Amino acid sequence: MDKKIAYLPGDGIGPEVSEQAKKVMVAIAEKYGHKFEFDEALVGAVAIDATGDPYPVATHKICEESDAILFGAIGHPKYDNDPSAAVRPEEGLLRMRKSLGLYCNIRPVKAFKILEDKAPLKNDRLDGADLIVFRELTSGLYFGNPRGRTEDGKTAFETCTYTEEEILRMAKPAFEAAKNRRNKVTLVDKANVLVTSRLWREVVTKFHKENYPEVELDFLFVDNAAMQMVLNPRQFDVILTENLFGDIISDLSSVIAGSLGLLASASVGGKVGLYEPIHGSYPQATGKNIANPSAAILSAAMLLETSFGLTKEAEDIRTAINDALDSGKVTIDINPDNYIGTTEFGDTIVAYIKNN
Q: What is the pLDDT of residues 134-164, one digit of tens each?
A: 999 999 999 988 999 999 999 999 999 999 9
Q: Indicate if 31 belongs to the active site.
A: no
Q: Is 148 left (phi over 0), alpha (psi -120 to 50) or beta?
A: left
Strands 68-73 and 273-277: parallel
Residue 308 DSSP SS3: coil
pLDDT at res. 111: 82
Can you tell me the distance from the alpha carbon of 353 to that of 333, in angstroms, rounded to the nearest whole number? 24
Q: Indicate if 190 belongs to the active site.
A: yes
pLDDT at res. 243: 96
Is 162:194 a contact under the CB 8 Å cutoff?
A: no
Can you tell me the distance from the alpha carbon of 51 to that of 72, in angstroms, rounded to the nearest whole number? 19
Would the pLDDT of 270 be above 80? yes
Q: Choosing from 190, 275, 316, 352, which is the catalytic residue?
A: 190
Can you tell me the distance from the alpha carbon of 356 to that of 353, in angstroms, rounded to the nearest whole number? 6
Residue 72 DSSP SS3: strand
Q: Which residues pair with 133 in a beta bridge?
A: 107, 239
Mean pLDDT of 178-187: 97
Q: Indicate if 127 belongs to the active site.
A: no
Can you tell me the distance from the alpha carbon of 108 to that of 266, in angstroms, rounded to the nearest whole number? 9
pLDDT at res. 108: 94
pLDDT at res. 202: 98
Q: Indicate if 339 belongs to the active site.
A: no
pLDDT at res. 127: 81
CA 139 to chain CA mean position, Å = 17
Can you tell me the distance from the alpha carbon of 149 to that of 96, in angstroms, rounded to the nearest whole number? 25
pLDDT at res. 319: 96
Question: Could you tell me the CA-to-CA distances from 209 to 135, 172, 203, 279 in Å, in that order?
Answer: 21, 12, 10, 36
pLDDT at res. 200: 98
Mean pLDDT of 317-341: 94
pLDDT at res. 86: 77
Would the pLDDT of 344 be above 80? yes
Domains of the chain: 1-110+258-356 (3.40.718.10), 119-257 (3.40.718.10)
pLDDT at res. 113: 73
User: Which of 3-17, 114-128, 246-260 is least confident?
Assistant: 114-128
Burial of 201 from C-beta contacts in 10 A (0-12 / 13-18 / 19+):
middle
Q: Choosing from 142, 162, 212, 282, which is the catalytic residue?
A: 142
Taking only the tens place, the pLDDT of each residue in 236-266 is 999 999 999 999 998 888 888 877 788 999 9
Mean pLDDT of 15-28: 98
Instruction: Give me the chain's average pLDDT, please.
Output: 94
Sequence-distant (6+) residues with CB within 8 A of 302 are 106, 108, 264, 265, 266, 275, 314
Mean pLDDT of 116-130: 78
pTM of the model: 0.90
State the pLDDT confidence band at 177, using cuts at 50, 70 and 90: very high
pLDDT at res. 161: 96
Q: Choosing from 117, 124, 127, 223, which is the catalytic residue?
A: 223
pLDDT at res. 121: 75
Would the pLDDT of 282 be above 90? yes
Q: Choosing from 39, 251, 323, 347, which is the catalytic residue?
A: 251
Q: Choosing from 53, 67, 237, 247, which is the catalytic residue?
A: 247
State the pLDDT confidence band at 219, using cuts at 50, 70 and 90: very high
pLDDT at res. 78: 85
Of 18, 11, 130, the C-alpha closest to 75 is: 11
Q: Indicate if 212 belongs to the active site.
A: no
Sequence-distant (6+) residues with CB within 8 A of 73 are 10, 11, 12, 13, 14, 17, 44, 276, 277, 279, 280, 281, 282
Spell out a b/e string for 145-176, using b for 16 or more CB atoms within 10 Å of the CB, else e: eeeeeeeeeeeeeeebebeeebbeebbebbbe
